[in-house]
Chains A and B, each alone.
Chain A
Amino acid sequence: MTGAGLIAIAAAIAVFTGVGAGVGIGLATGKAVEGIARQPEADGKIRNVMLLGAVLAEATAIYGLVVALVLIFLKM
């Protein structure tokens, strides 16, 4: 296998972090919907906390994306 092919596979593995972020954001949003359905008056606070959780979960996916971009554009 050539070097470029290995780098492409490495980039694909790096982007695989998106799976964790997807599960995390899905869980956070689902629980937030449950919370708002139970207590509609607390939606402002719930939205803020949900956003914080979603953003922190998303960070891992972004790191994966950045690593993949570095691999592709700087190493290829």
Chain B
Amino acid sequence: MDLGKKLVDAMEPHIMFTMNLFGHKIPVSDVVVVMWIIMAVMISLAFIFTRKLTEVPNKKQNVVEIIVEFINNIVKDAIGEHHWKVFAPYLGTIMLFLIFANTISIFNVIPGEGFKLRPPTRNINVTACLALMSMCVVIYAGIRYKKFSGWLKSFVEPIPLMLPFKILDYGIKPLSLALRLFGNTLGAFIVMELIYAVIPPVIPVALSLYFDLFDGILQAYVFMFLTSLYIQEVIE
């Protein structure tokens, strides 16, 4: 198989099995299966780490408290002292999920063909969904803290001439969120696949540190940071 075919094969989602639900046939691709794996890992980790919480933290609890405090501090800095508590859980969940999703290809320990753990964010449908979710949270924040009339009024402030641009804003923001995450992950993924194909020993390890770990975590942070900025912009 030549290199181009191999790349396209790695990029495209493969149908693994079809589910029967109320008479509809729903094809389930490996992207969805990888996301299920991430969810299972995250939920079980959450159960393990939050069992038997005590007033004085022990070893396990310290780890969780550091993570939660880190997320809380970022959200507090971005959104402000008053309203951060409502949005911290959502933003933290998104960031932890994206960290797992972007860096999952380093857990690819089984060699050979067949099922592989590849980042689900290389598929634009996943990132578009995440971006739409974030925009829903932004609109919810606007309606919650400004009332519906105040949120509608924010479209014509400071001058009514801004109306088309403000409407355009609600289309451009999710588009850029989705495309940024998708483009970054797919770009890093393609580069890593090319390196695996050309020079398999040693060198991929060093480059994987940058393309998988650093880039993945940075993009997760950027997604969360931009979402919190949009929220702050709306509730100001």
Given A48-B77, A73-B8, A62 and B226 contact (CB-CB distance below 8 Å):
no
Contacting residues, chain A, for B183 (C-beta < 8 A): 62-63, 65-66
Interface 0/1 of B208-236, CB less than 8 Å to A: 00000000000000100110010000000
Cβ-defined contact, A62 with B184, below 8 A = yes
Contacting residues, chain A, for B186 (C-beta < 8 A): 65, 69
- Residue A25 at the B interface, CB < 8 A? no
- Residue B166 at the A interface, CB < 8 A? no
Contacting residues, chain B, for A65 (C-beta < 8 A): 183, 186-187
Q: Closest Cβ of chain A: how far from B44's Cβ, in Å?
A: 32
Taking CB as reference atom, which chain B residue is nearest A76? Answer: B4
Cβ-defined contact, B77 with A63, below 8 A = no
Taking CB as reference atom, which chain A residue is nearest B222? Answer: A55
Taking CB as reference atom, which chain A residue is nearest B183? Answer: A62
Sorting the interface of chain A by its residue count into under 10, 10 to 19, 20 to 34 or 35 or more gives 10 to 19
Q: Which B residues, 136 to 195, have Cβ-Cβ distances below 8 Å to chain A?
A: 176, 179-180, 182-184, 186-187
**How far is it, in angstroms, between the C-alpha of A42 and the C-alpha of B8 when the chains are bound?**
46
Contacting residues, chain A, for B180 (C-beta < 8 A): 55, 58-59, 62
- Residue A28 at the B interface, CB < 8 A? no
- Residue A44 at the B interface, CB < 8 A? yes
- Residue A51 at the B interface, CB < 8 A? yes
A66 contacts which of B11, B78, B182 (Cβ < 8 Å)? B182
Give the interface centre of A44, A55, A69 by most chain B CB atoms within 10 Å: A55
Q: Which A residues, 35 to 58, have Cβ-Cβ distances below 8 Å to chain B?
A: 44, 48, 51-52, 55, 58
A52 contacts which of B176, B184, B229 (Cβ < 8 Å)? B229
Taking CB as reference atom, which chain B residue is nearest A61? Answer: B183
Interface 0/1 of B3-31, CB less than 8 Å to A: 00000100100000000000000000000
**How far is it, in angstroms, between the C-alpha of A58 and the C-alpha of B225 when the chains are bound?**
15
Contacting residues, chain A, for B184 (C-beta < 8 A): 62
**How far is it, in angstroms, between the C-alpha of A34 and the C-alpha of B138 when the chains are bound?**
34
Cβ-defined contact, B225 with A51, below 8 A = yes
Given A66-B179, A73-B8, A55 and B77 contact (CB-CB distance below 8 Å):
no
Q: List 22 A-B contacts (CB under 8 A).
A: A48-B77, A48-B78, A51-B225, A52-B225, A52-B226, A55-B180, A55-B225, A55-B226, A58-B180, A59-B176, A62-B179, A62-B180, A62-B184, A62-B187, A63-B179, A63-B183, A65-B183, A65-B186, A65-B187, A66-B179, A73-B8, A73-B11
* For the complex of A and B, 6 pairs with smallest distance between CB atoms: A62-B183, A65-B183, A66-B183, A55-B222, A62-B180, A59-B176
